[in-house]
Amino acid sequence: MALRNVNSDLDIERKTSSFSVERLTNILDGSAENTRIRRAVNAVLQNDPEFNLENQYFLTQNERYEDSVRRSIHLSKKMNEMGWTTNGPERTCCYRALSANLAFNVHIVFIKSILGLGTEEQIAKWIPLAEKYYIIGTYAQTELGHGTYLRGLETTATFDVATQEFVLNTPSISAMKWWPGDLGRTATHAVVFAQLYLKGKSYGMHPFVVHIRSLRDHSLAPGVTAGDIGPKMSFENIDNGFLLLENVRVPRENMLAKFSQVLPDGQYVKKGSEKINYLTMIVVRVSMVQNEVVLTLMKACTIAIRYSVVRRQSELKPGDPEAKILDYQTQQHKLLPQLAAAYAFYFVSKYLWDIFDRGYTEIKEGKFGLLPELHALASGIKVIATEYCSAGVEVCQKACGGHGYSLLSGLPSLCSRLMASCIYEGENTVLLLQTARFLIKCLGMSRSGHPLPSSVAYLSSKSFGKCHAQENRDFLNPDVYVEAYKHRAWRIVRNAATKLQTLVQSGIAQHEAWNRCSVQLAQGAMAHSHYIVVEKFVKALETFGKEVAIQRVLKHLCDLFALHGILSNMGDFVQDTYLSTQQTDMVTESYLDLLTVIRQDAVPLVDAFDFSDANLNSALGSYDGQVYQRLYEWAKKSPTNHQDNRVFETYLKPLFRNALSKL
């Protein structure tokens, strides 16, 4: 598509920016140098027709899969050609641009699991092959009837001393491995998790490298049944699969043996703590929030906000032309909190990386002290980020009216993809309750006089009093709202703990009491995570002290995020009259005023995310704002407009014939 004039309604929005868009882009990228690299990578990808995604909305599941395999292999060549390494910044940029359109995602998990769970020899054997795609692996943990609860997994691996092999079996239909990506039609190998049996005794879950498809002709290995699990709400690029094992034998060396080993005589040897493995799970969640969840909301905001200054609807002022829909307060109320959330979760994910790095250093030295806090933080923030951002993308889609439902808007694919993030890498309710368990534990520690980790230090407070705000603008003071969030989390967690204690003291069994408090415990974990997000956004603001304009606009967003969160959960803040009726009115008015302020910078604030048109792949969201032209041009390309006339010939013509004499 040739370069076009920018729609004047969009153009004018860019002329009044209160800050330097380029500078904010650099901040989001981490540095001007990072921006340069990202743009250079984008340019390379966009000039290569193999990476063109233009027609993807028209493809079938099978075409998407084929395309993704082709593209992944081409990307690997391209990276070689360009000298981009697998650990370099360019690779991250490639994935940022193409992630929903690549194959071999779980192959990467296969590689990581061997690196994390394998011995030196096992790493030396498998990794060079896997990195070059000479084999493709998958990670087969989840079963048809079993998810997050690992002890429930049914697949067995029984050691046969005679042949020095493990014999793997799927004992029932619910034990079938189900969902692993790259398994359906691609993988030659799988890291299979199975209950290890030695001389009739169970030793729990262990990982085994299993050969599942021939490298020569791709036929299934003996005893293996595998295939694709069929259509899903999103992820058409991935061949999620099933795997059924019947007496499948793998050599003894194929049990990944970094942490435990089976000797030739069938003796089981434990080899040190697996705790470090929790880090892998944590890092997956942290990077998923940053690279998938937040980016997706940023894209949706870019599309919806640009569209909202191009779309005009109804008279605002009688006699005037139809108004830009972003000038309606209701539209601002839909979109601007999502924009603020995108920034909020960006900053909290940066914070998570920082403490993860700190934790990683300590843990490598054998100090596991930070691990529980890190796990609770990463779980809680994974949950709030995925819930918030997936709801936010949905708001963005709905805010675009009918056109938002066209796949060509780009929004439905963002929306359905992100919805799944509430389930994968830990189902959100399960994770919240894990965070809650940590919070309850901390509360108990504080009661017995122990100091608490910094993120939960507020739990040891005795009381919070009432909110001190006296006028609207007091609610633009971060101290005021951070305190309110702290108080809210403190109150909910303490109430849940008290209820739990009361139930147990009344003679109800611990597990039953826990269950009866779990709705409130989950709410407590959510409130805690919400507090962390607000607090880390405020902390991030402090780093921009020398850049007044940037700091001011980010401060507006931070205020908006915090106040919107209070309004959306008002009951939590008012139930014990922490906020008075007058104060809640102040929050509302401050919030509504902020909408008007941020409205002025809305387009520059999404421009700062710096997505190229190819990144967005949206008829509504392109930089030039030529929304209607693009919708029309893209629609004309739809295969539904290039079908033969079979429906008419077969079904309609015989009927229409009867009208000919009458019209």
In terms of CB distance, is 311 or 556 closer to a copy of itself? Answer: 311
Q: What is the Cα–Cα distance from 620 to 406, expressed in whole angstroms?
A: 10
Closest approach of Cβ 82 to a copy of itself, in Å? 19
Among 15, 216, 462, 546, binds a copy of itself (CB under 8 A): 216
30 part of the interface to a copy of itself, by CB under 8 A: no
Among 38, 107, 206, 211, binds a copy of itself (CB under 8 A): 211
457 part of the interface to a copy of itself, by CB under 8 A: no
Among 20, 261, 277, 416, binds a copy of itself (CB under 8 A): 416
Among 118, 392, 404, 524, binds a copy of itself (CB under 8 A): 404
- Of 267, 305, 157, 382, give the one whose Cα is nearest residue 625: 305
429 part of the interface to a copy of itself, by CB under 8 A: yes
Interactions with a copy of itself, residue window 619-658 (CB under 8 A)? 628-629, 631-632, 634-641, 643, 645-648, 650-653, 655-658
The residues, any chain, with a CB within 8 Å of residue 534's CB and separated by 6 or more, are: 344, 481, 482, 485, 558, 561, 562, 565
Q: What is the Cα–Cα distance from 102 to 95, expressed in whole angstroms?
A: 8
Closest approach of Cβ 220 to a copy of itself, in Å? 12
Strand 201-211 relative to strand 189-198: parallel, antiparallel, unpaired?
antiparallel
Q: Where are the beta strands (DSSP E) in 19-164?
A: 137-140, 156-160
Closest approach of Cβ 75 to a copy of itself, in Å? 12
In terms of CB distance, is 3 or 660 closer to a copy of itself? Answer: 660
Closest approach of Cβ 174 to a copy of itself, in Å? 5
Q: Could you tell me if 489 and 569 are in contact, meaning their C-beta atoms sit under 8 angstroms apart?
A: no
In terms of CB distance, is 94 or 153 closer to a copy of itself? Answer: 153
433 part of the interface to a copy of itself, by CB under 8 A: yes
Q: What is the Cα–Cα distance from 438 to 445, expressed in whole angstroms?
A: 10
Closest approach of Cβ 119 to a copy of itself, in Å? 17
Amino acid in the structure at residue 623:
Y
600 part of the interface to a copy of itself, by CB under 8 A: no
Longest dimension (CA), the chain: 94
Closest approach of Cβ 257 to a copy of itself, in Å? 18
Q: Could you tell me if 625 and 306 are in contact, meaning their C-beta atoms sit under 8 angstroms apart?
A: yes
Helix axes 120-131, 105-117, angle to 10 degrees: 160
Q: How far is CA 661 from the centre of its chain?
A: 61
In terms of CB distance, is 42 or 421 closer to a copy of itself? Answer: 421
Among 131, 427, 547, 613, binds a copy of itself (CB under 8 A): 427
Interactions with a copy of itself, residue window 302-331 (CB under 8 A)? 311-318, 322, 327-331
Q: What is the Cα–Cα distance from 367 to 196, expressed in whole angstroms?
A: 29
Assigned token pair, 118: 């394998």
Grouping H, G, I as helix, E, B as strand and the rest as coil, residue 74 is helix
Q: What is the Cα–Cα distance from 89 to 432, expressed in whole angstroms?
A: 32
In terms of CB distance, is 42 or 409 closer to a copy of itself? Answer: 409
Q: How many chain residues are in contact with a copy of itself, going by CB under 8 A?
A: 138
Assigned token pair, 207: 């990982």
- 165, 236, 373, 425: which is the annotated catalytic residue? 425
Interactions with a copy of itself, residue window 178-207 (CB under 8 A)? 178-179, 184-186, 188
- Of 245, 221, 250, 227, give the one whose Cα is nearest residue 155: 245
In terms of CB distance, is 128 or 272 closer to a copy of itself? Answer: 128
Q: What is the Cα–Cα distance from 465 to 614, expressed in whole angstroms?
A: 52
Q: Could you tell me if 170 and 190 are in contact, meaning their C-beta atoms sit under 8 angstroms apart?
A: no
Closest approach of Cβ 411 to a copy of itself, in Å? 8
Phi/psi of residue 390, each to 5°? -70, -40
In terms of CB distance, is 184 or 359 closer to a copy of itself? Answer: 184
In terms of CB distance, is 373 or 394 closer to a copy of itself? Answer: 394
Interactions with a copy of itself, residue window 466-505 (CB under 8 A)? none
Interactions with a copy of itself, residue window 60-79 (CB under 8 A)? 60-62, 65-66, 69-70, 73
Closest approach of Cβ 269 to a copy of itself, in Å? 26
In the shown chain, the binding pattern of residues 251 to 280 toward a copy of itself, with x for contact by CB under 8 A and - for none, equals ------------------------------
Among 412, 426, 524, 625, binds a copy of itself (CB under 8 A): 412
Q: Could you tell me if 564 and 573 are in contact, meaning their C-beta atoms sit under 8 angstroms apart?
A: no
401 part of the interface to a copy of itself, by CB under 8 A: yes
- Of 310, 354, 355, 359, give the one whose Cα is nearest residue 331: 310
174 part of the interface to a copy of itself, by CB under 8 A: yes
Among 112, 333, 437, 441, binds a copy of itself (CB under 8 A): 333
Q: What is the Cα–Cα distance from 70 to 104, expressed in whole angstroms?
A: 11
Amino acid in the structure at residue 445:
M
In the shown chain, the binding pattern of residues 506 to 545 toward a copy of itself, with x for contact by CB under 8 A and - for none, equals ---x-xx--xxxxxx-x-----------------------
Q: What is the Cα–Cα distance from 294 to 403, expressed in whole angstroms?
A: 23
Q: How far is CA 53 from the centre of its chain?
A: 21
In the shown chain, the binding pattern of residues 82 to 121 toward a copy of itself, with x for contact by CB under 8 A and - for none, equals ----------------------------------------
Interactions with a copy of itself, residue window 127-156 (CB under 8 A)? 129, 132-136, 142, 144-149, 152
In terms of CB distance, is 318 or 451 closer to a copy of itself? Answer: 318
Q: Taking CA 532 as the corner, what is the angle to CA 331 and CA 600, rounded to the nearest 5 degrees?
A: 30
Among 12, 40, 215, 263, binds a copy of itself (CB under 8 A): 215
- Residue 496 has a CB neighbour count (10 Å cut-off) of 24
Closest approach of Cβ 584 to a copy of itself, in Å? 5
In the shown chain, the binding pattern of residues 552 to 591 toward a copy of itself, with x for contact by CB under 8 A and - for none, equals ---------------x-xxxxxxxxx---x--x---x---
The residues, any chain, with a CB within 8 Å of residue 82's CB and separated by 6 or more, are: 44, 90
Helix axes 329-364, 371-399, angle to 10 degrees: 160
CA dihedral in degrees (102, 104, 109, 114; nearest 10)? -150
Among 232, 271, 364, 447, binds a copy of itself (CB under 8 A): 232
Closest approach of Cβ 574 to a copy of itself, in Å? 5
Q: What is the Cα–Cα distance from 465 to 468, expressed in whole angstroms?
A: 9
Q: What is the Cα–Cα distance from 257 to 269, expressed in whole angstroms?
A: 10
Q: What is the Cα–Cα distance from 226 to 284, expressed in whole angstroms?
A: 26
Examine the residue annotation and report whether 425 is marked as an active-site residue of this protein.
yes
In terms of CB distance, is 152 or 366 closer to a copy of itself? Answer: 152
Closest approach of Cβ 543 to a copy of itself, in Å? 33
In the shown chain, the binding pattern of residues 35 to 64 toward a copy of itself, with x for contact by CB under 8 A and - for none, equals ----------------------xx-xxx--
Q: Could you tell me if 525 and 380 are in contact, meaning their C-beta atoms sit under 8 angstroms apart?
A: yes
Please list the active-site residues. Answer: 425
